[in-house]
Structure 1
Amino acid sequence: MYRFLLTRQWVILTLVALVLIPTMIRLGIWQMHRYEERAARNQLVTDALSADPVPVEKLTSPGHTVTSGERYHAVTAKGRFDTDREVVVRRRTNSDDEVGYHVLTPFVLADGKVLLVNRGWIPANGPSQTAFPTIPAPPRGETTVTGRLMPDETTEASGIKNLKGLPDRQVMLVNSAQQAERLDAQVLGGYIAQTAPEPKGDVPELIGRPGKEDSALNYAYAIQWWLFAAAVPVGWLVLVRRELRDRRAGTSGRSAEDTTPAAV
């Protein structure tokens, strides 16, 4: 009765099932790895945001590359804003997806080193974005600034092209190495997204806290793939039993016809 399993149709069906099972198991494992990676990144963000602020030079220095463990960590710095050498970062959006600029202001520390401070978002003066916008001034004189430490932006990491020939005092990326060359100064690696002091008016609009990645979806997908993998052999068995039942019913029907007396 099981000889039908050797037919072409059933051999193909069985081979497909044997391929699907390990494929779905691997897809589930891949999704679980994605879940663990995102959960780990979320934990790094949580730890950094909940950590007490530290002096910025404890975490970064000229030429330093900000690590994933240092990213978003709250830092403080004492010095003065150098608005004469301030630039704006083009094509940046606020929480309402409006296009404008980020204000990038050098912050000169007591020892002469420079910390790049992203003071927040301002709207563009016009659609062309060719003229340098009007920017509210930061506090004058010596002040203490607090912010979240961020790594340098690169085209590879952000997807933003570092265009040349931009209008004066406009840049595409926040990059300490590029700014060190422009300023001819020792610039600490990375930059900070300012959180305090808050601006007196509505602008610059401070950059909001970073969101967390949705890792729960990857966990659900992993379970889903494994359920699919378990369903394949169950479905194959159901089809085999149905085929057996149909064949037995067909055999019984033919046997009954053979034993029925011919009509006179």
Structure 2
Amino acid sequence: MYRFLLSRQWVILTLVGLVLIPVMIRLGFWQFHRHEHRVAQNQLIADNLDARAVPVDRLTGPGHTVAYDDMWRTVTAKGRYDSRHEVVVRQRTASDEQSIGYYVLTPLVMDDGRAVVVNRGWIAAGNDLTRFPKVPAAPSGEVTVTGRLKRDETTGNSGIKDKQGLPDRQVMLINSGQLAKSLSQPVLGGYVELTKSSPKGSGQPEGVPEPDHSGIGPHMAYAIQWWLFSAGVPIGWVILVRRELRDRAAARAAESRSEPEPEPAVV
């Protein structure tokens, strides 16, 4: 009855199903782990944003890679802006996530002589992308800044290609190591995403919005879908086998009905 399962067509179909089941299960767990990572990251962001502000040099130092658990911590620093070594980061969006412009990076030289990179916020790109844009002047004199500590950007962790040959004082990545090459002071690893400044200064760049940590994304739904697909493969295989058996039984019944009855023997 089940000899048809040994046919070439059914052997291929069965093998494909046996391959798809573990692949779909694995894809489901991949999405599930992404869901877990997103939930953990949201919790880390919320905890670090609520944590008490600490001096930036408690969490980082020259050449230091900011620990993942310290990202988004509120930090403070006091010093003077070095506007001569200010640069802008190309192709960054405003808070509406539609307008393209620049982030303004200004080194803050602290009282101990070390510097920390401060992302002062976003400005519109303007029409001429080949020149250094008109940047709102950083507050003069001694400034106390408060902001979120961030890890240096690389192509690997940001997905942004580090293009070469850009106009003067324009960069693609926020990377303290790259900016340190043009400074005489030691530069702390990572950078500060400015949230508050004293004095504030007038006409400053648009502040970078707080990271979204409310949504968990569709990863859990995708995981469940993949697992349902994996369960559907054997169910579908059984349905196809039963349909094949039913079709074969119907064909045999039709064939038997179409056969002529034998004529009675002549005595």
TM-score range, shorter chain: 0.7 to 0.9
Q: Is the 8 A contact 1:105 1:119 kept in 2?
A: yes
| Distance change (3 Å), C-alpha of 1:262 and 1:243 | farther
Counterpart of 1:82 in structure 2 is: 82
The one-character-per-residue Cα deviations of 1:21-54 (angstroms, maximum 9, x if unpaired) are 2222222222222222333333332222222211
Please, which moves more after superposition, 140-149 or 76-85? 76-85
Take 2:90 and 2:259, find their aligned partners in 1: how far apart are those partners?
88
Counterpart of 2:46 in structure 1 is: 46
Identity in percent: 55
Query: Which amino acid in 1 is paired with 2:209?
Result: G
Query: Which amino acid in 2 is paired with 1:72?
Result: W
Take 1:172 and 1:236, find their aligned partners in 2: how far apart are those partners?
52
Please, which moves more after superposition, 234-243 or 132-141? 132-141
1:212-227 equivalences under 5 Å are 212=213, 215-227=216-228
The one-character-per-residue Cα deviations of 1:241-260 (angstroms, maximum 9, x if unpaired) are 22222333333344455585
Counterpart of 2:238 in structure 1 is: 237
Counterpart of 1:251 in structure 2 is: 252
Counterpart of 1:166 in structure 2 is: 167
Q: Is the 8 A contact 2:31 2:220 kept in 1?
A: yes
SS in 2 for 1:197: strand
Take 1:244 and 1:170, find their aligned partners in 2: how far apart are those partners?
70
When the two structures are superposed, what TM-score results if normalisation uses the length of structure 1? 0.85
1:49-60 equivalences under 5 Å are 49-60=49-60
| Distance change (3 Å), C-alpha of 1:173 and 1:238 | closer
Aligned residues: 261
Counterpart of 1:34 in structure 2 is: 34
Counterpart of 1:61 in structure 2 is: 61
Q: Is the 8 A contact 1:31 1:221 kept in 2?
A: yes
Take 1:15 and 1:83, find their aligned partners in 2: how far apart are those partners?
66
| Distance change (3 Å), C-alpha of 1:237 and 1:170 | closer
Q: Is the 8 A contact 2:75 2:147 kept in 1?
A: yes
Q: Is the 8 A contact 2:88 2:171 kept in 1?
A: yes
SS in 2 for 1:69: helix
SS in 1 for 2:138: coil
The one-character-per-residue Cα deviations of 1:156-191 (angstroms, maximum 9, x if unpaired) are 433232524632x43333322233231200111111
